[in-house]
Structure 1
Amino acid sequence: MSSVSVSRVLLVLITVSVFWVLVKLGFWQLARAEYKHQWQATLAERQQQAPLDYQQLLTLIKPNKPADITPETALLTGYRLSVKATPLQQPLLLLDNQVYQGQVGYLAYQIFEVTAENPWILVELGFIPAGNDRQELPALAAISAGQYELTGRVYQKLANPLSDELHPEIHADKPIRFQNINIPALALLLKHDIATAVLQPDNVPQHSLPQPWVPIPLSAQKHQGYALQWFTMAAVFLGLMGWIAYKQYRNDTRR
């Protein structure tokens, strides 16, 4: 086979391979967009349902299968929950590296007990900005002792495959700063079972912190935009390779 024939074959193989990959990525983004549409509809449907009680929530949580490794469709995110619960004398918890409306800070949590026999539940207090000095944690008072009726949304997080460790920073008489919502690891740290779902109450007692709600980090519209980008890249690449092939053909015919 001549060198000209080899170069033509290589050009065709490269063109087909790269074009196929770009188009496949575009269709993958469209599939993700459709899935996000369905997931948004599921969340909206759950918001219209009557609130669960705590026993119903625990029943929905699959035993021996941590929520952070289940697929999104198995998560309990979006269900409403109504409980009577008591804040415990445990340190406040600060989830690090959170951003809300351009501010960097923490999501604050407090541990509550529903009944002595059941797992504790993690209750989100809201977002609190970080100070300029990372060594200084923000001042935030824990909800005082007493029984409170809490009603709100629950959520669970999928594990980040690159980083899902708790990485707690423990200091006496200070909140625990941690890096990822890893409830099984938190339960080991606090030596007590904790339900693998977080409650975000509609009204947090004694606090009025903002409560970000981002159950779908990347919207269907974003995926559709990315799909358009991949398809555009495929078309541009195909046009470019066609132009290169045409120039090569013209050069060969002149020899």
Structure 2
Amino acid sequence: MSRVLLVLITLVVFTLLVKLGFWQLSRAEFKQQWQQTLVLREQQAAINYTQLLSLTQTEPTDAEEAALLTGYRLSINATPVKQPLLLLDNQVYQGQVGYLAYQLFEVTPDSPWILVELGFVSAGKDRQILPALTPITAGQYQLTGRVYQKQANPLSDGLHPEMQVDKPIRFQNLAMPALAKLLHHDIAAAVLQPDSVPQYSLPQPWVPIPLSAQKHQGYALQWFTMAAVFLGLMIWVALRQFRHQ
């Protein structure tokens, strides 16, 4: 291996590893700011449905977590919609694999429906058998809680619904436009996680930030360590070539 090629490889790989480390540090800083934003939203008074719909007019992009409505508190009077329950697939809670269960509610006849989280339910060994859940009975309910939005998954962001007669709809992603198209009715872009769910007492996971600032800092340390080890290795290779020559 020529000296020039050795130097080029060393510079390119070392620079890449260091850049990845600094990128993780920038993500850690952003996550710290985002956590502070969530704390402030938790302390604010609950907004109404009209305000929520106004906030959802601007659709956030993948890189704009700060534009997500996650953390706002919402208070509504709503009625269950006569639609199947919905099960978000591939969810994990306290080591158990299962679903997040949802039911659609109507606030006013002319407004979009809103997806209300009922909570986590574990999955059985047979995927063909869905959890036995009973929809919240008809009536008007006052629901107050936190709203959230999921970031789009660049690898798989489709709804991918699985429908059976008289069974909940199992789906893969909170793709609201696709769900609205499937059910032929507008649906709000944010999900409500009520403080208490009528007729239910399922656990309600709250993970607004999938990767914490501490994890990003840990990943940054790993990249910097790899950069240092790689640089040391290449220096050792260069020294050995120099001695042989």
TM-score with structure 1 setting the length:
0.94
Cα displacement string for residues 69-110 of structure 1 (whole angstroms, at most 9, x for unaligned residues): 572111100000000000111100001111111111100000
The answer to whether the aligner puts 1:116 opposite 2:116 as a matched pair is no
Hey, what does 1:247 align to over in structure 2? 240
The alignment partner of 1:168 has SS state of coil
The Cα of 1:204 is off from its aligned counterpart by 0.4
The Cα of 1:251 is off from its aligned counterpart by 1.4
The answer to whether the aligner puts 1:57 opposite 2:74 as a matched pair is no
Quote the Cα distance in structure 2 between the aligned partners of 1:20 and 1:74. Answer: 32
Quote the Cα distance in structure 2 between the aligned partners of 1:172 and 1:39. Answer: 42
Hey, what does 2:24 align to over in structure 1? 29
1:131 maps to which of 107, 124, 133: 124
The alignment partner of 1:34 has SS state of helix
The answer to whether the aligner puts 1:38 opposite 2:33 as a matched pair is yes
The answer to whether the aligner puts 1:226 opposite 2:202 as a matched pair is no
Q: 1:68 to 1:164 in 2, by over 3 A?
A: farther
The Cα of 1:68 is off from its aligned counterpart by 6.5
Q: Which runs of 5+ in 1 are unaligned?
A: 1-5
The answer to whether the aligner puts 1:216 opposite 2:212 as a matched pair is no
Quote the Cα distance in structure 2 between the aligned partners of 1:194 and 1:9. Answer: 60
1:18 maps to which of 5, 8, 13: 13
The alignment partner of 1:81 has SS state of strand
Hey, what does 2:195 align to over in structure 1? 202
Percent identity reads: 74
Hey, what does 1:190 align to over in structure 2? 183
Moved over 3 A (4+): 67-70
Q: What amino acid sits opposite 1:186 in the alignment?
A: L
Quote the Cα distance in structure 1 between the aligned partners of 2:95 and 2:31. Answer: 25
Alignment size in residue pairs: 245
The alignment partner of 2:100 has SS state of strand
Quote the Cα distance in structure 2 between the aligned partners of 1:207 and 1:70. Answer: 35
The alignment partner of 1:13 has SS state of helix
Quote the Cα distance in structure 2 between the aligned partners of 1:70 and 1:81. Answer: 25
Cα displacement string for residues 92-141 of structure 1 (whole angstroms, at most 9, x for unaligned residues): 00011111111111000000000111111000000000111111100011
Q: 1:68 to 1:195 in 2, by over 3 A?
A: farther
The Cα of 1:246 is off from its aligned counterpart by 1.2
Quote the Cα distance in structure 2 between the aligned partners of 1:181 and 1:125. Answer: 15
Hey, what does 1:3 align to over in structure 2? none
**Alpha-carbon RMSD:** 1.2
The answer to whether the aligner puts 1:172 opposite 2:165 as a matched pair is yes
Quote the Cα distance in structure 2 between the aligned partners of 1:70 and 1:223. Answer: 16
The answer to whether the aligner puts 1:150 opposite 2:136 as a matched pair is no
For the pair shown, which has the larger CA radius of gyration, 1 or 2? 1
Hey, what does 1:105 align to over in structure 2? 98
Q: 1:188 to 1:143 in 2, by over 3 A?
A: same
Q: What amino acid sits opposite 2:95 in the alignment?
A: G
